[in-house]
Structure 1
Amino acid sequence: MKTIGMLGGMSWESTQSYYTALNRGINQQLGGLHSAKIILHSIDFAELAEMQAQDNWDQAAALLGDAAVAVQSAGADFLLICANTMHKVAPAIQQRIGIPILHLADATAGVLKADGITRAGLLGTRYTMEQAFYRERLEAQGIDVLVPEAQDRALVHDIIYSELCQGIVTEQSRTRYLAVIDELAANGAQAVILGCTEIALLVQQQHSTVPLYDTTQIHVNEAIAYAIGHDS
């Protein structure tokens, strides 16, 4: 079994979801007392969030690059960046390490394609929804990406940072998210990507008739397959 490297803490709420899902998935595959071999570097998210807000992506890349080097030095065989938004700096991180990064957007695109989805809505932070770094990975795989209107993008972003990253889950926010999801579907989305690792804490498939793609679980499934040597 390969050792999984994790860059976490973005936020720690979603990182614990990753950790739990990875261990459960490995155990389901291998049985018995098996669990995942993991090296985790968890950052202080307040520092990174400040860099994001200031559009200081070079500094953010340096911070996560240092963490990735440490994870590689500790013996990881490959790396997961446990946040959708910070895949913006994945190329810069990859340049600093010799182990592969399993890219979350690529894994998501693969699942969408396999399911015959060609037009998907995207929810996430404003960076993920508004910048090209994430959408272009999906579009390169033939998937047309829809994002909410500006007011809804602000709503989705604010709930992530002011509530979900702090472990706050409310029915009011769930209702608001579901309205945004329904609007994306009305505009032609065949499915909606939960493109922020915290969103699955708030919205699951049971809450919506629109097909939802949880990027955290997709990323975890890719990592498990890679760790135990199966094709993803």
Structure 2
Amino acid sequence: MRTIGLIGGMSWESSAEYYRILNQGVRDRLGPTASASCLLWSFNFAEIEELQHRGDWTALTDRMVDAAQRLEAGGADVLLICTNTMHRMAGAVQDAVGIPLLHIADPTAGRIKSAGIGKVGLLGTAFTMEHDFYKGRLAERHGLDVIVPDAADRATVHRIIYEELVAGKVLPESRDAYRAVMARLVAAGAEAIILGCTEIMLLVRPEDSIVPLFDTTAIHAQAAIDLALGE
């Protein structure tokens, strides 16, 4: 079994889900006493959030590269960035280490294409929805047509992530707000919705949408299990 290096703590709420999915998945495949071989570098998300909203992506890149190199030195064989937003610096992280980085968008796109879906709605932080590092990869590498909510809906989605979900708050009124945003994406032509922030799965369930939901947290972790077990 390969050792999985997790760059987490962004936020720890979703990193805990990664840890659970990885260990349950390995146990399901290898037997009741089996668990994942993994290392976790967990950031103080308050520091990361401040740098994100200041737009200091250089400092953020430096921190991510440092974490990746520490995990590699500690014995990791493959890396996961346990957040969609911080894949903005995935290229720099990959260039700084000699082990593979499993990009969260790639297994997600694979699942979507396997389902025969070509046009998807994307939910995530404002950084993920508005910048091209994520949408561009889905479009250019995988041929997907990606649409995002309008400005008001993007603000709502982003606010709920940073004010509630990263703090472990799951509110019924916020679930209703996400349902409405997803319905508007479907009305705009989305055949499925990407839950493109690793905390959204804490709030939204399949029954909240009339089209399929693709949970990047679960898909990413499951792809890591495949890679770790050589499948």
The structural deviation recorded for 1:208 is 2.2
Normalization by structure 2: what TM-score?
0.98
Mapped to 2, the partners of 1:32 and 1:172 lie a distance apart of 39
Aligned to 1:125: 125
The structural deviation recorded for 1:223 is 0.2
Amino acid at match of 1:177: Y
Mapped to 2, the partners of 1:183 and 1:222 lie a distance apart of 30
C-alpha root-mean-square deviation of aligned residues, in Å? 0.6
The structural deviation recorded for 1:2 is 0.5
Determine helix, strand or coil for the equivalent of 2:80: strand
The residue correspondences of 1:182-193 to structure 2 (distance < 5 A) are 182-193=183-194
Normalization by structure 1: what TM-score?
0.98
Residues 138-163 of structure 1, C-alpha deviations (whole Å, 9 max, x = no match): 10211000100000000000000000
Aligned to 2:221: 220
Mapped to 2, the partners of 1:84 and 1:106 lie a distance apart of 12
How many residues matched? Answer: 230
Mapped to 2, the partners of 1:32 and 1:13 lie a distance apart of 25
Aligned to 1:60: 60
The structural deviation recorded for 1:207 is 2.4
Mapped to 2, the partners of 1:228 and 1:166 lie a distance apart of 33
The structural deviation recorded for 1:32 is 2.6
The residue correspondences of 1:56-205 to structure 2 (distance < 5 A) are 56-140=56-140, 141-205=142-206
Mapped to 1, the partners of 2:136 and 2:180 lie a distance apart of 26
Mapped to 2, the partners of 1:11 and 1:168 lie a distance apart of 13
Determine helix, strand or coil for the equivalent of 1:148: coil
Mapped to 1, the partners of 2:40 and 2:108 lie a distance apart of 22
Mapped to 1, the partners of 2:79 and 2:33 lie a distance apart of 24
Residues 39-79 of structure 1, C-alpha deviations (whole Å, 9 max, x = no match): 00000011111111011111101011111111000000000
The structural deviation recorded for 1:217 is 0.6
Mapped to 2, the partners of 1:117 and 1:137 lie a distance apart of 16
Mapped to 2, the partners of 1:49 and 1:65 lie a distance apart of 17
Residues 177-225 of structure 1, C-alpha deviations (whole Å, 9 max, x = no match): 0000010001100000000000000001132222100000110111000
**Matched-pair identity in %:** 53
Mapped to 1, the partners of 2:99 and 2:157 lie a distance apart of 34
Determine helix, strand or coil for the equivalent of 1:121: strand
Mapped to 1, the partners of 2:32 and 2:174 lie a distance apart of 39
The structural deviation recorded for 1:95 is 1.4
Aligned to 2:13: 13
Gaps of 5+ in 1: none
Mapped to 2, the partners of 1:32 and 1:201 lie a distance apart of 26
Determine helix, strand or coil for the equivalent of 1:60: helix
Determine helix, strand or coil for the equivalent of 1:223: helix
Mapped to 2, the partners of 1:148 and 1:23 lie a distance apart of 34
